[in-house]
């Protein structure tokens, strides 16, 4: 097992302020594919000049998390791939810990690290990040005492170590998702195919959470997150449980978004009015079967 057996994959969008911290934490002998959701040629030139182990691929437009990762995964030639968010950085021992686990276990599809989150307010309704779906994650963890691992049903998408040979029949991410639930969907298909997902407490990958993009676009990204959180919630449940079950599950969220929109409209709170309009719009678009078309206006 060597560093050449792994490719690190990062999907970015206007992440100039964060991405270099992430890349600096990666061993420069490790191949990195950076999928940038834009046509920013200057960004590509600068990254590839500063980091000789990085190939930056420009998508030309904002494809989101799943589709951009799929572009990178199809180009990976190594046996394993580590998917990272731009607002992560590795400990010096991270890759070696992955290699130790691989040599100690049999077949597996995905390994995820324990969460090393920073500055996350999980109950902040207007600061939605992947941490808000904790209820969907790490279900039915079964400890493997000798290896200090746990068999789980899913892991978080900010860091996923993939054994690519296990995905030939499953495929990778469902590209209908723009953001949110795509890793839960992938893990669900992995489990259905009777493949193994492990959570590794000894592996540390630091994650700021919701800070992958540059600060000046925070407001627009927040609107986008709220829209897609609702769209993806309905789409995911409809995909596996059918339309009526999904509608029942989101009905309370639909009514809440309408009432809160009206409430903040009366209070002339423009910011929160926009947020709850985005939630309503995301749900309505999902209910009527529209694609996840919304993109941040940046």
pLDDT tens digit sequence for 145-171: 445 789 999 999 999 999 999 999 999
The 8 Å CB, 24+ separation contacts for 278-281 are 278/223, 278/224, 278/226, 278/227, 278/230, 279/226, 279/227, 279/229, 279/230, 279/253, 280/230, 280/254, 281/227
The whole-angstrom separation of Cα 158 and Cα 169 is: 23
Helix 243-266, helix 270-287: angle, nearest 10 = 160
Q: In this structure, are residues 229 and 133 in contact, taking their beta carbons and an 8 Å threshold?
A: no
Q: In this structure, are residues 130 and 143 in contact, taking their beta carbons and an 8 Å threshold?
A: no
pLDDT category of residue 214 using cuts at 50, 70 and 90: low
Whether residue 134 lies inside any domain: the answer is yes
Between 136 and 239, the more confident residue is 239
Whether residue 48 lies inside any domain: the answer is yes
Domain housing 56: 3-207
pLDDT tens digit sequence for 35-48: 999 999 999 999 99
Report the phi/psi class of residue 272: left, alpha or beta, with left for phi > 0 and alpha for psi in -120 to 50: alpha
Q: Which of 206, 196, 114, 207 is nearest to 163 (CA)?
A: 196
Whether residue 119 has pLDDT greater than 90: no
| Alpha-helical regions (H) of 25-156 | 41-50, 64-73, 94-104
Q: In this structure, are residues 61 and 38 in contact, taking their beta carbons and an 8 Å threshold?
A: yes
Q: What is the pLDDT of residue 121?
A: 35
Report the phi/psi class of residue 122: left, alpha or beta, with left for phi > 0 and alpha for psi in -120 to 50: alpha
Q: Does one domain contain both 105 and 220?
A: no
Q: Residue 65 is part of a domain; what is its CATH number?
A: 3.90.550.10
Whether residue 125 has pLDDT greater than 60: no
Q: Does one domain contain both 196 and 244?
A: no
Of 207, 240, 260, the residue that ends a domain is 207
pLDDT tens digit sequence for 50-69: 999 999 999 999 999 999 99
Whether residue 297 lies inside any domain: the answer is no
Count up the domains in the chain and report the number.
2
Q: pTM (2 decimals)?
A: 0.86
Q: Does one domain contain both 65 and 138?
A: yes
Q: Does one domain contain both 104 and 178?
A: yes
Q: Measured between alpha carbons, how far is residue 274 from residues 14, 279, 283, 290, 292 in Å?
A: 22, 9, 14, 20, 18
Q: Does one domain contain both 200 and 257?
A: no
Q: In this structure, are residues 21 and 90 in contact, taking their beta carbons and an 8 Å threshold?
A: no
Q: Does one domain contain both 87 and 111?
A: yes
Q: What is the pLDDT of residue 186?
A: 97
Of 179, 207, 235, the residue that ends a domain is 207
Q: In this structure, are residues 80 and 5 in contact, taking their beta carbons and an 8 Å threshold?
A: yes
Whether residue 167 lies inside any domain: the answer is yes
Q: Does one domain contain both 112 and 199?
A: yes
Of 182, 207, 232, the residue that ends a domain is 207
Q: Which of 9, 22, 75 is nearest to 50 (CA)?
A: 22
Contacts of 120 (CB under 8 A, 6+ apart): 129, 131, 209, 210
Q: Does one domain contain both 169 and 57?
A: yes
Q: Does one domain contain both 158 and 19?
A: yes
Q: Does one domain contain both 57 and 201?
A: yes
Q: Does one domain contain both 198 and 220?
A: no
Q: Measured between alpha carbons, how far is residue 92 from residues 28, 96, 240, 249, 286 in Å?
A: 12, 8, 40, 43, 42
Whether residue 237 lies inside any domain: the answer is yes
pLDDT category of residue 115 using cuts at 50, 70 and 90: low
Would you state the structure tokens that stand for residue 174, as one six-digit string?
A: 């469902």
Q: Does one domain contain both 198 and 240?
A: no
Whether residue 85 lies inside any domain: the answer is yes
How many Cβ atoms are within 10 Å of 163's Cβ, its own excluded? 17
pLDDT tens digit sequence for 6-19: 999 999 998 887 89
CA 48 to chain centre: 24
């Amino acid at each position: 097992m060597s560093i050449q057996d792994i490719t690190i994959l990062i999907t970015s969008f206007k992440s100039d302020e964060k991405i270099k911290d992430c890349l600096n934490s990666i061993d420069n002998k490790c191949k990195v594919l950076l999928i940038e959701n834009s046509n920013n040629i200057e960004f590509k030139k600068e990254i590839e000049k500063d980091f000789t182990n990085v190939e930056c691929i420009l998508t030309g437009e904002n494809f989101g998390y799943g589709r951009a990762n799929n572009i990178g995964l199809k180009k990976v030639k190594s046996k394993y791939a580590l998917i990272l968010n731009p607002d992560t950085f590795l400990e010096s021992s991270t890759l070696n810990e992955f290699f130790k686990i691989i040599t100690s276990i049999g077949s597996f599809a995905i390994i995820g690290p324990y969460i090393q989150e920073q500055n996350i307010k999980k109950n902040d309704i207007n600061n939605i990040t992947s941490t808000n779906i904790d209820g969907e994650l790490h279900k039915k963890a079964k400890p493997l005492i000798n290896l200090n691992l746990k068999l789980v049903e899913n892991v978080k998408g900010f860091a996923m170590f993939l054994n690519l040979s296990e995905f030939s029949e499953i495929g990778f991410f469902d590209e209908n998702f723009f953001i949110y639930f795509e890793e839960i969907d992938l893990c669900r298909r992995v489990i259905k195919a009777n493949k193994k997902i492990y959570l590794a407490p000894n592996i540390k990958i630091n994650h700021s959470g919701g800070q992958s993009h540059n600060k000046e676009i925070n407001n627009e990204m927040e609107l986008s997150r709220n829209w897609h959180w609702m769209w993806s919630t309905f789409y995911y449940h409809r995909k596996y449980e059918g339309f009526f079950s999904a509608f029942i599950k989101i009905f309370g969220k639909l009514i809440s978004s309408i009432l809160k929109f009206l409430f903040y409209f009366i209070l002339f709170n423009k910011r929160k009015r926009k947020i709850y309009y985005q939630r309503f719009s995301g749900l309505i678009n999902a209910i009527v079967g529209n694609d996840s078309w919304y993109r941040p206006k940046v």
